[in-house]
Structures are given as structure tokens and as C-alpha cells.
């Protein structure tokens, strides 16, 4: 679709391909679930037509969803770098992309959010341009290779969240940095009068190192509210066993409205990922509530948090670092956090970035 530069930008028809590791709303997909929902709403509010192909059972409110049956994919972060590409007998991933191929001509652009081999392999076989949103750093060599081929043959189509994420790939300079997400500030209530409580949000899975936050809470004696999907039950059981007296409270995997209600009254959010987190949606959701974020100086959070202004960046994997930063939380002006969510990490700011990327790809 060539764009006529003198007329208003055209309304696009965008087909969004969801993650194949879980139904939307299940929490198994991690941050990409919120990212898809917020982007779809933003694009729709700008007059674009969107449809989302997602695994059966997905819940996306009033967003148009094409539900596809099949078995879920394994998450990439639970596999070795040298892992072979594996597919279950009746893969939802393949079924979703077969659906996309059948209806691609009704759309101007396909937006891929799956961090898996197949969508990259299939790219040359599609007629419509595909914008690939790569939401993790390098995990599996075979997937890296498939992404790299697309980066070379279809320049500009690989979008990543942050510079540090791009640097995990040998072809990082061929990636287009588009940011990781944007929140609607209206969905999160600002709170200026926090309690002596900390928060930790996310998938409960080893790469997120929840145990570090629990250890820091134990040292400070401050209560830690934990919210998120228990992706690895053995890992969660081990933490409870290792820290039987830590002042923690697990609130479950909460929908956004309840999550922000529990988060907003907290003094700070702890982010403790061991891996190179590509972005970190929970940081910007925390900002939207006015809650400063303490994170290891590594990966996406190090690009999101302004040290001393919207939170603190501490030495990676240092419990001492977390504890010292917790003691300094009063130095942060919570209004600055909210301001960052409104002006830098909002759904509308991110929508503009993504929309201009999409226009370039259909042009």
C-alpha cells in the first residue's frame, strides 16, 4: 500500500499474532499479554482496524479475537541455548499462522509477537509485510538464526524493546528499537501516601529471581506483596521453604484493576531479574501508580528507571544493594514516577512509535 504523502495517513488493517505459550489473560505469556491489549486498543482508537489471532480461551474483552485451538508452545526462557526447535503434535503456533496465511489479504500488515522459530521461518512465504516484535533477548541459537535471516532479508522488520536487549543478539545493529509497551495512565490510580510495604510483580519463574526480593524484605522487615502467575510451582515452593519467616504475602495473579489497587499503596517495587529482561512492563505500571522501582542495573529496567528520580538501580544480584535502596525510597518524588508514565511510557506515546513503524513497513 503506497502512501500518498499529501493526504492524511491511511487507516491500516492490522492482524496481530499473539504468543503461542498461553491464552491471553492466563498470565503465561507474561508482559506481552498487556502489550498486545494496550497496543490493540490504542491502534483502534486511532481508527485502524485490528484483529488478534490467539490461542483458544483467550480473553480480551471487546477486542476482536480469532481463537485458534491447539497445543501450547514451550516458553523459550525455560530451554537451553542449544535446544532444538520443538513442536507438539497439534501446535497452536502452526494453527495460528495457517489462519493468518488464509486471511492475510484482508490486512495491510501482520504484527508478530511470538518469540518462536516458526513465524520467522514463514516470513518469506507470506505476501503481506510482517512486523516482528521480539520481546526477549537471545535465548535459543536456532531462533536467533531464524530472526537474523529475517533481519537481513527484510530490513527494518525486527523490532526490539531496548538497546541492551538488542545487544544480546549478534545482529543487534539490524534491530529497530521500538520500546516495549505503553500504559494507559487512566487505568492506574496515583497514590502519594504509601504504606510501609514493598511489591514484587511478575511470573514466578527462576529467571525473575523472586528469592532476592524475599531476602531483601526479610532483612528490612518490610512486608512484600507478591502478585503474579506461578509458572514454576517447584521454584515457588522452594522459596517458601528457604524463607519461612519472611514477611511475604502472595495475592495471586491479578487482573490489572486489582493489581494496581494492591500496588499503588506500596512504597516501592522490587525488580530482581537474573536474565537480561528485554523491557519490564511492571516498571511502567508501577510508575503509573506513583510507585518508585528498585531494580538491578541490567537489561530493560536499567533503560526505564532514572536512577535517583523514578527509582534506584543497584548492583546486579546484590541483596545489600536492594536493602540500601529500600532505605532511600523516601528520596523519590512519587509524582515524578507518575509523570514518567504519562509522558514517556504511555500507551499513546508508544502508539505513535508503533504506528510510524507500521507505516514505514507498508509503504
Cell of 22: 498461553
Q: Is 34 in the site for ligand UDP (CB under 6 A)?
A: yes
How many Å apart are CA 269 and CA 289, to the nearest integer?
11
Q: Which residue in the set 19, 21, 28, 30 belongs to the binding site for ligand UDP (CB under 6 A)? A: 30
Q: Which residue in the set 115, 253, 287, 357 belongs to the binding site for ligand UDP (CB under 6 A)? A: 253
Q: Is 200 in the site for ligand UDP (CB under 6 A)?
A: no
68 vs 227, beta carbon nearer ligand UDP: 227
61: left (phi over 0), alpha (psi -120 to 50) or beta: left
Q: Is 117 in the site for ligand UDP (CB under 6 A)?
A: no
Element (H, E) at 299: helix 299-304
Least distance CB 27 / ligand UDP (angstroms): 6
234 in Cβ contact with 208 (< 8 Å): no
108 vs 207, beta carbon nearer ligand UDP: 207
Which of the stretches 13-21, 47-55, 197-205, 336-344 binds ligand UDP when contact is defined by CB under 6 A?
A: 197-205
91 vs 182, beta carbon nearer ligand UDP: 182
Least distance CB 172 / ligand UDP (angstroms): 19
**Residue 181 DSSP SS3:** coil
Backbone angles phi, psi at 82, to 5 degrees: -90, 10
Which of the stretches 90-98, 109-117, 152-160, 251-259 binds ligand UDP when contact is defined by CB under 6 A?
A: 251-259
Least distance CB 284 / ligand UDP (angstroms): 9
Q: Is 269 in the site for ligand UDP (CB under 6 A)?
A: no
How many Å apart are CA 107 and CA 42, to the nearest integer?
18
285 closest CA partner among 315, 254, 308, 313: 254
The residues, any chain, with a CB within 8 Å of residue 327's CB and separated by 6 or more, are 220
How many Å apart are CA 126 and CA 172, to the nearest integer?
24
Residue 114 burial by Cβ neighbours in a 10 Å radius (0-12, 13-18, 19+) = buried
- Compose the 276-305 pattern: x for residues touching ligand UDP by CB under 6 A, - for all others: ---xxxx--x--------------------
Q: Is 191 in the site for ligand UDP (CB under 6 A)?
A: no
Residues of this chain that interact with ligand UDP (CB under 6 A) are 27, 30-31, 34, 201-203, 227-228, 253-254, 256, 259, 279-282, 285
Amino acid at each position: 500500500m503506497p502512501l500518498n504523502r499529501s493526504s492524511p495517513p491511511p487507516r491500516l488493517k492490522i492482524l496481530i499474532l499473539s504468543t503461542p505459550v498461553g491464552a491471553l489473560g492466563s498470565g503465561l505469556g507474561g508482559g506481552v499479554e498487556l502489550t498486545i491489549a494496550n497496543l490493540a486498543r490504542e491502534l483502534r482508537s486511532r481508527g485502524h482496524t485490528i484483529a488478534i489471532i490467539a490461542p483458544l480461551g483467550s480473553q480480551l474483552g471487546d477486542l476482536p479475537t480469532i481463537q485458534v485451538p491447539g497445543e501450547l508452545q514451550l516458553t523459550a526462557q525455560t530451554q537451553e541455548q542449544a535446544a532444538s526447535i520443538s513442536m507438539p503434535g497439534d501446535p497452536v503456533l502452526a494453527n495460528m499462522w495457517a489462519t493468518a496465511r488464509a486471511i492475510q489479504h484482508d490486512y495491510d500488515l501482520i504484527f508478530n509477537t511470538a518469540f518462536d522459530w516458526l513465524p520467522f521461518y514463514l516470513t518469506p512465504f507470506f505476501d503481506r509485510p510482517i512486523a516482528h516484535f521480539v520481546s526477549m533477548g537471545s535465548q535459543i541459537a536456532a531462533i536467533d538464526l531464524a530472526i537474523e535471516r529475517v533481519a537481513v532479508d527484510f530490513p527494518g522488520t525486527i523490532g526490539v524493546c531496548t538497546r541492551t536487549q538488542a545487544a544480546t543478539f549478534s545482529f543487534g545493529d539490524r534491530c529497530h528499537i521500538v520500546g516495549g509497551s505503553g500504559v494507559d495512565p487512566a487505568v492506574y490510580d496515583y497514590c502519594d501516601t504509601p504504606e510501609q510495604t514493598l511489591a514484587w510483580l511478575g511470573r514466578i519463574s527462576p529467571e525473575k529471581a523472586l528469592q532476592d526480593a524475599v531476602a531483601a524484605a526479610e532483612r528490612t522487615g518490610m512486608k512484600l506483596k507478591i502478585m503474579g502467575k506461578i509458572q514454576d510451582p517447584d521454584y515457588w515452593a522452594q522459596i517458601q521453604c528457604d524463607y519461612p519467616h519472611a514477611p511475604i504475602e502472595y495475592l495471586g495473579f491479578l487482573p490489572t484493576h486489582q493489581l494496581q489497587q494492591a500496588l499503588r499503596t506500596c512504597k516501592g517495587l522490587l525488580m530482581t531479574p537474573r536474565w537480561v529482561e528485554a523491557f519490564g512492563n511492571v516498571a511502567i505500571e508501577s510508575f503509573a501508580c506513583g510507585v518508585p522501582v528498585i531494580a538491578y542495573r541490567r537489561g530493560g529496567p536499567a533503560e526505564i528507571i532514572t536512577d535517583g528520580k523514578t527509582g534506584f538501580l543497584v548492583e546486579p544480584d546484590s541483596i545489600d544493594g536492594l536493602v540500601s535502596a529500600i532505605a532511600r525510597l523516601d528520596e523519590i518524588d512519587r509524582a515524578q514516577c507518575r509523570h514518567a508514565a504519562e509522558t514517556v511510557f504511555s500507551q499513546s506515546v508508544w502508539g505513535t512509535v508503533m504506528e510510524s513503524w507500521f507505516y514505514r513497513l507498508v509503504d
